[in-house]
Structures are given as C-alpha cells and as structure tokens.
Amino acid sequence: MTDSALRHDWSREEIETLFNLPMNDLLFRAHSIHREHFDPNEVQVSRLLSIKTGACPEDCKYCPQSARYDTGLEKERLLEMELVLKEARSARAAGATRFCMGAAWRNPREKDMPYLTTMVREVKSLGMETCMTLGMLSPEQADELARAGLDYYNHNLDTSPEFYGDIITTRTYQDRLDTLDNVRAAGMKVCSGGIVGLGETQNDRAGLLQQLANMEKHPDSVPINMLVKVAGTPLAQQEDLDPLEFVRTIAVARIMMPLSRVRLSAGREKMSDEMQAMCFFAGANSIFYGCKLLTTPNPEENDDMALFKRLGLKPEQGVAADPEKDEAMLERAAARRDKADSLFYDASVV
C-alpha cells in the first residue's frame, strides 16, 4: 500500500461499523493489515521525560499538571541540560530508540526557544530520534525546532470534536489542529492521538480516529492513552472503560492508519499482560518504556522485557551504546554549555 492509496475520507458510520464487528473478525482484520506493513513481533520503544513539571494554566480535566487542581504535584523548574542528557543516555542503553521531552506549558515562550533547540541538538548528538511536546506552537516556533533537528512533535487531539468541550475549555480543537498543521509545514513528523476512558461514547472514540485518519497525511505516531485517574482532578472518579473496548480502539486505529505506529501509551501499569498482548496483536507496535510517563506510573523496564520475552516480541533495534564516544560528546557538549549559561533560567513561572 502506498501513501496515495491510504484513505482520508472515513465516515463516522464506517468507523462505528468497524467498532461493532465481532471481536475475532476485528482482530483478524487489524492484525492482517498490521502484518502487511510491519514486523508483527517488533515494537518501537521510546522514553518520555518531563523536562518541566506542573503549574500548567490549562484546565484539561484529566491532567495532574494543571495549576487549577490540587493533586499534590510540586511544580519544578526546567531541567538542567546535563540531567536531560543523562536520562537520554540511560534510555538508549535500555533499548529506547526515541527520546521524548515534555513540558507543562500552554505554549513555549520566546525566551524558552534557544534552550529547547539546544536540548534537541544535544540529545540528537547521542544518536537518538527526538520528540517534544510543549503545547501549542506558532509557525515560527515549529520552524525553529525543525531547524534544530527535532524529529517528532507530539500534540494530541484527546477526543472527538463533539466531546472536547466537556474536557478542555482553555484551548479550542482548532488550536490543536493549527499546531499540527504548523508542525507538518515545518517538516517534522506528527505524533498525535488521544485518551479513552474520559467518559466519552464509542461514537466519540470513532470521532477521534476520524479526525486523525482524515488528515491530509496520517500522523506518523498515534498514541492511544487509557485515562490514568489522579486524585484531585475532575475525572478522578470516572468509571473504568471496558478493557475490550480499549483493544477495539487499538484495532480500529490500525485498520484506519495502516502505516502509522500505534503506541500503547499511558495506563499500561493497570493493564494485565493478557490485555497488552491483545493490543499488540491488534496492531499496537510502540510503547513508552520506563517507570514514569511525565507524572504518572508506567510498568518497570524489566517487567516490559519479561512480557516481551513471554510473547516473543523484540524491541526495534536502535543505536548501540558506545560509552567512550558518549563521554567525548558529553565533554564537548559541556564545553559548549559553559559558553551558554545565560540560556538557563527558572521556567517554573508560567
């Protein structure tokens, strides 16, 4: 299947028909498509690091980082470069091929940009793919990050256009679409998905996937998150989503976006091994690896590798660690940073 053969004209009714297929038929169709385009036993592994935590002005009802909710989360300053690089090296040594950096902002300020672009260059010097999620981006900011070499930019749509206003009021759906347009226009790859279990209907889950699949170009990565309920947020008492409905969402995403990497993202800590195995069979072929996703728990690395072994899965091969080369690069990077100390500042004030 070529890019030109991919569909971008899905109707809501067609998508709901997929959701309502008998589970065996849905999984067979999704897995067959997945096997056409990917090694069915290989999973791309990413590591996610919060480079600036808390004090976000947005009101996303699921998010413990919102300044509007009392979740006990302490706001933190923008991480020092050396710590970011240490985490990136650790991620690579553990088998991650992509390093994702997230900041709790509505959008970066102009004075943030030199530090962020330097961070991208330094992480790329370790031989890893880079991804950032920083909130909304202007066309100029997207261009700056692209020139620095940022590979992916994550900006989730979260849910359907119809349900979106029940979850977020401080930015519009169009704001999110505009940022994705800016990212794509700058030449970066798009990482965009959503969250299920927010109290949405199956029609809303179909609407989310419709928005993603009907873009002019499908997102390169599609993270599907299960709501992680955090005390103090408005969704802390939300009823659990049927696990099989989550598996259905993965399968339908795979059918609609056959060339995208579908990431089994937040919420894995609460998923059984059997549920995760069904998701991998349904077409999920990317995970976040490590003990924490921004501020919420994630399975420990050795647990993931034990599950991979049981399922006969293997991580996508990345750049092998080279400690001597890394040390030399870090020394050069440290020398450059000594000349640029003025770029570091306290970003905890929004």
Residue 291 among the catalytic residues = no
Is-catalytic flag, 60? yes
The helix/strand/coil state of 94 is coil
Q: Examine the residue annotation and report whether 63 is marked as an active-site residue of this protein.
A: yes
Question: Catalytic site residue 56?
Answer: yes
Half-sphere exposure of 180 (CA within 13 A, CB side): 23
- Residues 29, 47, 131, 279: which is the catalytic one? 131
Helix, strand, coil in percent for the chain, rounding step 5: 45, 15, 40
- Which among 29, 63, 261, 279 is annotated as catalytic? 63
The residues facing 43 across adjacent strands are: 315
The DSSP secondary-structure symbol of 44 reads E
From 60, 89, 92, 261, the catalytic residue: 60
Do the beta carbons of residue 157 and residue 192 sit within 8 Å?
A: yes
* Cα–Cα nearest to 192, from 270, 234, 131: 131
The catalytic residue among 92, 184, 191, 205 is 191
d(CA 308, CA 5): 33
Helix (H, G, I), strand (E, B) or coil at 279: helix
Q: Which of 47, 100, 171, 248 is catalytic?
A: 100
Residue 279: active-site member: no
Catalytic residue among 29, 47, 56, 268: 56
From 89, 171, 205, 263, the catalytic residue: 263
Positions marked catalytic: 56, 60, 63, 100, 131, 191, 263
